[in-house]
Structure 1
């Protein structure tokens, strides 16, 4: 016996004063109504209804059970409506994880616009370069930059991420502009510790090793590397979302002769089925906001 169904059936009998009318209201058979009530009484070991030929009346215990069960059923209905609203309305708290540098430079404006469009949303933004565990840390959407790999998570590409070889114009004026990877390896490489230069530059010369690259500086933060490149310390291979403004202002110069495997900005989330409306709308909003040609590439 389903306790909730039995409770609803009993309440319908009390409200209608009849097994037949309760059956009509619930669109089930009178026999099933009688069965539910009998099972409920057997389980509670209490008579809930007094039956006459014309009408059904609740006993004292039945009336008490009816009043309490009405409260329970109302609370269940409220809970179900609240959950349904979470699925259909853009409201509640949205927890977002994003890479540190990208988040600082490019997330404030779209988040502001999203909240203006959906004022019932509260946003918690967590900036970190580590891969968060969405389930354990209660994150709704994680933004990650890289190449899409097999994962138990669902991923949607939000925007292309283009990487370029850049240095200050005065650095190239002093050391010359390299024409190929061999010549590039002899200049000072401002190395990003989370990436391998061999996985970025294509086609890679077979005779060349990553150990052949000259480098006197490395960092796990792209913003620092870009600033060092602007100061003329060496060249950097960084995404345009970090270097776009410096390129636009003439502080950095791009070497267009080098082909670099592109990356992507992806939104990762746990389940495609029954996806909360706030998550679905947020991902669609970001994809539209950044577009196929993101703003940082408009230099």
Structure 2
């Protein structure tokens, strides 16, 4: 059994910060002492925990296993401590939150600001990133994800549907015509999102029939807002989440297409390492997020298709 919890906490902090220097600053100790703690832990376990080069620090397989278990343990300890101190009514501490870029800039900033006004003893570190981060290894309390969940070791709370719509500008449709069925998209300029699970395939369903359409076009991007703006400018047809496109759909600068077909849609989730949902600050934010979005997300409420 590992007896030195200070060394273990130092190791977890280094793993989440990705740097001995940053972890030492966060913990208020010197870098040599942080290095000493990890060396002692590696000696006790008889295993190397980090792969270190001059430019990069990464966990070994043993390090990943230990980090996952230790992060869960520290989360449970923090939750127990807060419960004992009565922190369920007054959440405290720093909440590390990760979310997709467009969702964060368009919607999450206001939700986080409201949360901070309600909970004066909580600080938030918000990172916006469209890549799928490792919640445990990178030390996040919560990650908001749009899609299907694959990692069964994480705890997830369903936040609602992430409605998708195929749309284009009236000017594009005037020049290129309006697709009447999914297969027509193969002859259109389609704007492709690089982080889609199957980025060049758009899937539709009607009457139990599924159509998988291979699309292509002159513009690809890893940012949904960029593609929606290109569609507004008349560059092509976009498959976009309504949390990005809703205002353009309401104003008429984008026209919804293929409305008699259902686009196979992902969902919103808040995902957390095991044990984090019982920590007061985490539980409070997830509850706040669910309330802010509502059963039907507010950006979908006035859409008439």
**TM-score for the superposition, normalised by structure 1:** 0.67
**Which residue of structure 2 aligns with residue 100 of structure 1?**
101
Q: In the TM superposition, what are the counterparts of 1:1-299 in structure 2 within 5 Å?
A: 84-85=84-85, 88=88, 89-195=90-196, 196=198, 197-198=200-201, 200-202=203-205, 203-205=209-211, 210=214, 213-255=215-257, 256-272=259-275, 275-299=278-302
How far is 1:91 from its partner? 1.2
Residues of 2 paired with 1:141 and 1:258: CA distance?
34
SS at match of 1:135: coil
In structure 2, the CA distance between the partners of 1:285 and 1:260, relative to structure 1 (3 Å rule), is same
Measured against aligned partners, the alpha-carbon deviations of 1:70-119 in whole angstroms (never above 9, x if no partner) come to xxxxxxxxxx9667338533111111000111111111111111111111
Cα 1:281–1:274 shift into 2, 3 Å: closer
1:86–1:277 CA contact under 8 A, matched in 2? no
SS in 2 for 1:136: coil
- SS of equivalent to 1:200: strand
Structure 1 residue 175, shift from structure 2 partner: 1.7
Q: Secondary structure at the match of 1:183?
A: helix
Name the CA distance, whole Å, in 1 between partners of 2:277 and 2:114. 25
Can you give the 5+ residue segments of structure 1 that lack an aligned partner in the other structure?
A: 1-79
Greater Rg, structure 1 or structure 2? 1
- Count of residue pairs brought into register by the alignment: 216
Distance 1:218 1:139 in 2: 29
CA–CA distance in structure 2, aligned partners of residues 274 and 102 of structure 1: 22
Identify the structure with the greater helix proportion: 1
Name the counterpart of 2:20.
none
Cα distance in 1 between the residues matched to 2:276 and 2:117: 27
Indicate if the aligned counterparts of 1:179 and 1:257 stay in contact, CA closer than 8 A.
Answer: no
Structure-2 change in CA distance of 1:231 and 1:138 (3 Å)? same
Tell me by how many angstroms 1:136 deviates: 2.3
Distance 1:81 1:273, change over 3 A: closer
Task: Tell me, in whole angstroms, the C-alpha distance in 2 between the residues paired with 1:224 and 1:294.
Answer: 22
CA shift, 1:134, in A, is 2.1
CA distance in 1, matches of 2:108, 2:213: 37
SS at the partner of 1:215?
A: coil
For structure 2, list consecutive stretches of 5 or more residues without a partner in the other structure.
Answer: 1-79
TM-score normalised by L of structure 2: 0.66
